[in-house]
Structure 1
């Protein structure tokens, strides 16, 4: 027997023969299902009993648990959870109290509150986007009812109904895994159902870098004249900095004497120190003269948040499109920088240091020694890029 109604009141239980060694019932009790009825004795209070959970524990011994307040459905859920724990050897009876029902949406919002302030702003916004998608498709389910089948169906719906890319779905699943990890720690669930979920295959053919012809167009001042757009694109291409970090640059971040750029990456919060090539130093000096010494920021006066970065990203997509570079974005400059530095210098570890990655595997997704090594790599990379436009190196050093 799994779940049955157990009565508390003696008037409802029936009577047994005194001295009968078998304890046989000679007068039956009141037959009921826990609801009040005309058959109930007048002096029986309400509630007069509770739903009993009966099961064999890991030693094969019958156990009976009665919790006042349990409905029949809740008692069945508690019983099923106990059976699962017995099978796993985790006999700690997690639902002996009336457990609140927590939906995926409510718990996901709780997760966002938990991480708020402890992660960079753009990371938080990305996870918030993922939570919105999770809440849309899985929000009504209880956290304890999630399983690999439901989550795999969620992945399919995101692709088919929302038109999301496989890489985006994988990011959403990574966030869902973090949410469920927290649920495991708080004992809302016993295990993370994401263990049985397979990541979607990402089409690697979509990833690309700028072609030689596209780089030539960027370097051509008749196509992209000197100004904020040109200077930002050159910095992105020759340093590999992310758009948010480029937009937030101040003149105080640049040391012209030592040809270095130092800033704090907004995504990771780490200090990034990059050497600047002679060519880029010369272009920065020309831009500073045209912009005026009074300005503190190179490009954007004010705080660069995720919303501003999104607007700037769309702006540069339009700039590239106007130049005839279809399908190009500012982040493509970072991929181009990583790939070409690796090809020219033949050392992926230097490209990794330049991009600020802590893991070489992260750098390898961008690629189709010390400051001196970086300087040498930057100069080699710059000479390679400028050779596409047939610049004379003498001119480069004069400009600097």
Structure 2
């Protein structure tokens, strides 16, 4: 297991390696997700070693609960956020469940441990007018880069794709005849989404007038979006591009996920069924998507309170 010190018992390290291999091969999780699990489990087994626990059979519910509590304690050199603790606990629970299923241990001490409650944060969406300003601002760059950025922005807003899904696209994933695009989400799950006219036009312009220029600077790749060196555009570069364009039009706090949030919110405001939006976002549960319905309800309440003569309170 990458990064484990030599002092860590093989009775801890070996099962962790098996679990990570299971995530990578059998569950086909992305490299980024497996790296996150690896980091969490490194931290966890190092803690167990410090507690003189060299075998998962000796881990109790109290052991894990105290570890989770310590992560949030003011005594911790760098206290973890609630979201980080929740992710850590998810990694630990997944590991112990795997150990039971594989017969390595008989009990799952993590099964009944509750994650810390998360404050509900509503997704940040911008208005349709702001989104239009943001997309139009891409054309301020030189044509080759401007056309690429315009295609990226139209794709993100027109499909609700995660930025990792967008930069992972190949040219063959776009079907102009059917006006659809093939995305690969979490767990490499495939979904086919419709492409609107604005996205189709922007992608066409990019592929005809911009991508060939960028491609000549590299060694050839089927990736849809390329950087200035002709290589696959990275998530970090896409994020920086969005930040730079947003600053030009005075929009703060804009990220790749803003496009996804705005996509979902504007669809629901336009009357789309929440389960259709769920499918388009690639959410495994409609519960995840329903947070956007709260956004639209609050907007309706605000409009009603300000506009209806019988709604105003004294």
**What TM-score, normalized to structure 2?**
0.71
Does 1:107 find its partner at 2:26? no
Structure that is richer in helix per residue: 2
Does 1:189 find its partner at 2:105? yes
On the 8 A contact 2:170/2:224 being kept in 1, the answer is: yes
Q: CA deviation at 1:352?
A: 1.4
Q: Which residues of structure 2 form unaligned runs of 5+?
A: 1-8, 216-221, 295-314
Q: Secondary structure at the match of 1:258?
A: coil
Q: Distance in 1 between matches of 2:187 and 2:23?
A: 15
Q: Which residue of the partner structure matches residue 247 of structure 2? A: 322
Q: Which residue of the partner structure matches residue 61 of structure 2? A: 148
Q: CA deviation at 1:198?
A: 1.2
Q: Distance in 1 between matches of 2:170 and 2:244?
A: 23
1:236 to 142, 145, 156: 156
Change (3 A) 1:223 1:255: closer
Q: Which residue of the partner structure matches residue 362 of structure 1? A: 288
Q: Secondary structure at the match of 1:204?
A: coil
Change (3 A) 1:201 1:337: same
On the 8 A contact 1:105/1:138 being kept in 2, the answer is: no
Q: Which residue of the partner structure matches residue 269 of structure 1? A: 188
Does 1:167 find its partner at 2:83? yes
Q: Distance in 2 between matches of 1:179 and 1:281?
A: 44
Q: Which residue of the partner structure matches residue 131 of structure 1? A: 41
Does 1:120 find its partner at 2:25? no
Q: Secondary structure at the match of 1:274?
A: strand
* Structure with max Cα Rg: 1
Q: Distance in 2 between matches of 1:188 and 1:222?
A: 55
Structure that is richer in strand per residue: 1
Q: Distance in 2 between matches of 1:213 and 1:139?
A: 55
Does 1:345 find its partner at 2:271? yes
Change (3 A) 1:125 1:325: farther
Q: Which residue of the partner structure matches residue 198 of structure 2? A: 279
Q: CA deviation at 1:180?
A: 0.7
Summarize the alignment of residues 1-400 of structure 1 with structure 2, pairs less than 5 Å apart: 104-118=12-26, 119-121=28-30, 122-140=32-50, 141=53, 142-160=55-73, 161=76, 162-205=78-121, 207-212=123-128, 214-221=130-137, 225=141, 226-263=146-183, 265-293=184-212, 295=215, 296-300=222-226, 308-309=234-235, 311-312=236-237, 314-316=239-241, 318-319=243-244, 322-323=247-248, 324-365=250-291, 368=294
Aligned residues: 263
Could you report, residue by residue, the CA deviation over 1:55-105 in whole angstroms, capped at 9, with x for unpaired residues? Answer: xxxxxxxxxxxxxxxxxxxxxxxxxxxxxxxxxxxxxxxxxxxxxx76545
CA RMSD of aligned residues (A): 3.0
Could you report, residue by residue, the CA deviation over 1:241-291 in whole angstroms, capped at 9, with x for unpaired residues? Answer: 12122112233322223322234x052323321111122222222223331
Q: Which residues of structure 1 form unaligned runs of 5+?
A: 1-100, 369-400
Q: CA deviation at 1:183?
A: 2.1
Q: CA deviation at 1:218?
A: 0.9
On the 8 A contact 1:158/1:164 being kept in 2, the answer is: yes
Q: Distance in 1 between matches of 2:161 and 2:57?
A: 42
Change (3 A) 1:336 1:155: farther
